[in-house]
C-alpha cells in the first residue's frame, strides 16, 4: 500500500515522497519587468527537498496574460535569467521543479495590459468582484474584449514559446493552468464562453484551447513532462459550470489520451482559498470523482492535513498531495509531516506582495 512517503514516478522523474508544493501566487517579482529575484530563489530553495516536486507559481506567458501586480513572467530574457537562479537553487537541494504557465484572461485590469487595453476573454462577459490593479489597488473588473478567432493561434503560440523559455530557464517540466477561473477555464465553461466559432458551443469546441495549449507545451517538452491543473467544481474568480461532471469528464478523458506527466485537481472545498479561509461543505471530491477515468498520475490539492493526505494516498484516491498555505509557513513541510512535528501557522496578511516578512523568514525545525 502506498503512503505519503512512498516513492512515485512522474514522467521521467522518481519522487522520493508525495508531498508536492502547490503553485502559489505571492506577488514578489521585481518591477519593472516582473523578473524573479534572488529573494524568490531563496524562497524556493528553502522549500526544496531531495526528490521532492515543486510546482512554481503561475507565470504569465505574455504581457497581456498578466492579471496581478508583481507576478513573474516567462516571456522575456530577463525573466528567463531570473528563473535560472530559482531552478539552480532547487536543483542544488536535489529537488524537481515545474513551472505553471498562466494566462488570466478576463481576471485582469487594463492597468496591466499593453497600451492600457481591455483584458481578453472568450466572450465579453464581465466577472463579478474586484481586480488587483498594477498599483496594488482593488477596482471593479472591466468587461473584457472577446478574442477574435484569428487571435487564438497567437495565444497557443505564446504557450509554446513560454514552454521553450521554461526549458531554457532550467525547469524540469511545465504545468498548464486550466483552473480557478482563468483563461483556459473561461473557454471551458459555458457561462463565460458564448462563442459560435470552433472554440465555442459544444464541449469539444470549448475544450479545444486547453487541449491545443497542452499539446503545444508537449511539443517542446514531451508529454511526460507536462501536467495540467483543473478545478472541476470550483467557484474561484466567478467561475462555475451548471453541469461540471458532464464537462470535466469529457475534458479529463481527452487529456488522458495525451500521455501527460500528471493531472492536478483542486478540491472544491478549498475553492478560493487564496483569498479567504474557506471550507465549502456539501461538495464532491474531485479526486474521487475523476480517479476512475484518469489513466495516469493524479495530484490532489485543497485543505489537506498530514493525516488526511495520508488517508487519500492510502485509499488510492490520489497519487500525491499538493500543499499550499502549509508550505508557505513551513519550508521543511515534508520533514514535519514525516516526523509528526508541529506546524507553524501562516500569516495570511503577508501572502501577497512585500519582501522577506511572511516569505523567507518562517522557521525550520530546530531553529
Residues with active-site annotation? 182
Angle of helix 244-255 relative to helix 208-221, nearest 10 degrees, comes to 20
- Where does residue 269 fall: left (phi above 0), alpha (psi -120 to 50 degrees), or beta otherwise? alpha
At 121, give phi and psi (nearest 5°): -160, 170
Sign of CA dihedral 208, 213, 216, 218: negative
Could you tell me if 167 and 140 are in contact, meaning their C-beta atoms sit under 8 angstroms apart? Answer: no
User: Distance between terminal CA atoms of the chain?
Assistant: 34
- The CA-CA-CA angle for residues 115, 83, 173, to 5°, reads 105
The kind and range of the H/E element at 21 are: strand 19-21
Which residues does residue 266 pair with via DSSP β-bridges, in sequence order? 301
Amino acid at each position: 500500500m502506498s503512503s505519503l512517503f512512498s516513492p512515485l514516478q512522474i514522467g521521467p522523474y522518481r519522487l522520493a515522497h508525495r508531498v508536492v508544493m502547490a503553485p502559489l501566487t505571492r506577488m514578489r517579482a521585481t518591477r519593472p519587468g516582473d523578473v524573479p529575484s534572488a529573494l524568490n530563489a531563496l524562497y524556493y530553495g528553502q522549500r526544496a527537498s531531495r526528490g521532492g516536486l515543486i510546482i512554481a507559481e503561475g507565470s504569465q506567458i505574455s504581457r497581456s496574460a498578466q492579471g496581478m501586480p508583481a507576478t513573474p513572467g516567462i516571456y522575456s530574457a530577463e525573466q528567463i535569467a531570473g528563473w535560472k537562479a530559482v531552478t539552480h537553487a532547487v536543483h542544488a537541494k536535489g529537488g524537481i521543479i515545474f513551472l505553471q504557465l498562466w494566462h488570466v484572461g478576463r481576471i485582469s485590469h487594463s492597468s496591466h495590459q499593453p497600451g492600457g487595453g481591455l483584458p481578453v476573454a472568450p466572450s465579453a462577459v464581465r466577472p463579478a468582484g474586484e481586480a488587483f490593479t498594477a498599483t496594488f489597488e482593488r477596482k471593479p473588473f472591466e468587461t473584457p474584449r472577446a478574442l477574435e478567432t484569428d487571435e487564438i493561434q497567437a495565444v497557443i503560440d505564446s504557450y509554446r514559446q513560454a514552454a521553450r523559455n521554461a526549458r531554457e530557464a532550467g525547469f524540469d517540466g511545465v504545468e498548464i493552468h486550466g483552473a480557478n477561473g482563468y483563461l483556459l477555464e473561461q473557454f471551458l465553461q459555458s457561462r463565460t464562453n458564448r462563442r459560435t466559432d470552433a472554440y465555442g458551443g459544444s464541449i469539444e469546441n470549448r475544450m479545444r484551447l486547453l487541449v491545443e495549449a497542452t499539446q503545444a507545451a508537449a511539443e517542446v517538452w514531451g508529454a511526460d513532462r507536462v501536467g495540467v491543473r483543473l478545478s472541476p467544481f470550483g467557484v474561484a474568480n466567478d467561475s462555475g459550470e451548471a453541469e461540471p461532471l458532464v464537462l470535466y469528464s469529457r475534458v479529463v478523458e481527452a487529456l488522458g489520451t495525451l500521455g501527460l506527466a500528471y493531472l492536478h485537481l483542486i478540491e472544491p472545498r478549498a475553492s478560493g482559498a487564496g483569498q479567504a479561509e474557506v471550507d465549502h461543505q456539501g461538495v464532491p471530491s474531485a479526486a474521487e470523482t475523476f480517479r476512475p477515468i484518469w489513466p495516469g498520475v493524479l495530484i490532489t490539492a485543497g485543505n489537506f492535513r498530514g493525516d488526511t493526505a495520508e488517508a487519500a494516498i492510502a485509499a488510492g484516491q490520489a497519487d500525491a498531495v499538493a500543499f499550499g498555505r502549509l508550505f508557505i509557513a513551513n519550508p521543511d513541510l515534508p520533514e514535519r509531516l514525516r516526523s509528526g512535528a508541529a506546524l507553524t501557522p501562516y500569516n495570511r496578511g503577508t501572502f501577497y506582495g512585500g519582501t522577506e516578512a511572511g516569505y523567507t523568514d518562517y522557521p525550520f525545525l530546530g531553529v
